[in-house]
Structure formats: structure tokens, C-alpha cells
Amino acid sequence: MKAQDFQTLQREFAAHLRNPDSYPAPDGIEERRLDIYRNLFFNNVNGFLRQGFPVLHSLLDSARWQRLARAFFEKHASQTPYFLEIPREFVSFLASGQGSEPGDPVFMLELAHYEWMELVLDASTETFPETGFHPDGDLLRAIPQLSPLHEILSYHFPVHKICSEFQPQEALEQPVWLLVYRGRDDGVRFMEINAPTARLLQLIGEHPTETGKAVVGRLAEEMQFADVAALETFSRDILQQMRERDILIGTSLSRL
């Protein structure tokens, strides 16, 4: 068989496996074997989705979940061949609106993104630093160092509270801020934070050579907060809490 003919056969076979109702199988393949392949490929992808999005899966009835998983399997042009990237591709699929139906939860995309972020941190190949910083350094006078294993998230729905008993129908008046992080024990955790705390952590990441005091000054300027000393006291407590949770690992070794 010529290479071009083989590639054509591969495309026809793949199209049939993804959508057997629209694309006929290539000639010469036994139906029994085709049925095995059709079920194997779809069930593998569907299994990854169920494991990756357990809350969303629990909120949709069985028929709706099957239609959603089938639509993703048939329509989405994934940008990666890796199974570990299926959750990211599924979130992209939901964001495109291709699989949406009337009656879907209004929070479906945000909930899926929230569940995906736990997988991202859990599967990250980043490691928690053990050297190269002062673990007990002064977080205001020195340069605070963020752990690479954290993400700051903002949602219009309280996705961290959603379950079968709580399914909000309207967005919040103000976004909810969540911090997802992986600690030294490799456990992934979420915590709700307020907007100033989220911005403080963002500013630390945006200005990695500035002291905590300088970053707090930036925050005060953005917030138009006149009592900088009071904000420094508040920020010191917050930063210490972040260090205790392994979100801040300490301070830089750089001399100021």
C-alpha cells in the first residue's frame, strides 16, 4: 500500500471512529472489530472526562453527559495527542460553545475550569524549592518569593461551593477570588481570598525584584489607600499566612 493510500485510510478510519453515523467505515474491516475500536476510543476519552470533572459529571443527568462527551469526541480538534491534556482540551471545547444545549448550568464553563485547575497543579512537573531562599526572611523588608505551584483564579460563580444541593442560577455581583496551590506534601488545596489579597500576590509575581514593602506601596497606590502603615500591617499578616500555606516560600537571597 502506498503511503498516500495508507494516510487516506487512516483519516477515513479516524473519522468513522469519532462519528460513525456520519462517516462510513473503510472497506474490508470486520464490523465486530470496528465495534470494539469505536467503544474503546470513546470510553477511554469519556473515562478521562468523568475522572477529571467529577462535580460537573455528577450534576448532569446520564443522557446529557453522554451527549456532551460524544460532542467533544466528535467535534473538537484537539491540539495535543496526550491524554493528560484532555481536560484542558475539554475546557477549550466548552468555551467554544460547540457542545452547549438549552438548560445547561449557567456555571458549567467556570466549574469545569475550576476542576481543571486542580488537575493542572496536581500534574505539574514543577517541584517545591528547597534551597535558594531564606525560609524565615522578613516578608516586608526583603523580597518575597512565591512558590511556582500556585494559581490565582477569579470566577463569576462560587464554583468552590457548587454541588448537587447548591447550583446558583445567577452570577455574583462581585467576582469570587480563589487561590489554588500545591504544598510541600504535594496536596492540592483551594482557599477563598479577597480582591486586595489577590492583587497583592499578583503584584509580587509582577515585580519579582521588589521588597514586600515596595509592593504594598504599589497596592496602596492602586487602591488609593492613604494609610500605608495600616496596609503594611494587614499585608504582613496576610503574607505570613501565605508562607504558612507554602504559597510564599520565603524571601530572596539577593542583597538589597
pLDDT attached to residue 79: 75
pLDDT attached to residue 131: 81
Assigned C-alpha cell, 86: 484532555
pLDDT attached to residue 35: 65
Q: Which pairing describes strands 176-182 and 150-155: parallel, antiparallel, or unpaired?
A: antiparallel
Residue extents of the structural domains in the chain = 3-104, 133-252
Rounded Cα gap, residues 176 and 153, in angstroms: 8
Q: Please, how many CA atoms are within 13 Å of residue 202, restricted to the half-sphere of its CB?
A: 16
pLDDT single digits (tens) 20-54:
666 666 666 666 776 666 767 788 889 999 999 99
pLDDT attached to residue 255: 58
Residue 21 class from Cβ within 10 Å (0-12 exposed, 13-18 middle, 19+ buried)?
exposed
pLDDT attached to residue 1: 47
Rounded Cα gap, residues 159 and 69, in angstroms: 21
With a cut of 50, list the residues of the chain below it in pLDDT: 1-4
This prediction's pTM = 0.86
pLDDT attached to residue 72: 93
What architecture is the 3-104 domain classified under in CATH?
Answer: Orthogonal Bundle (1.10)
Assigned C-alpha cell, 145: 518569593
CATH number attached to the domain at 133-252 = 3.90.930.50
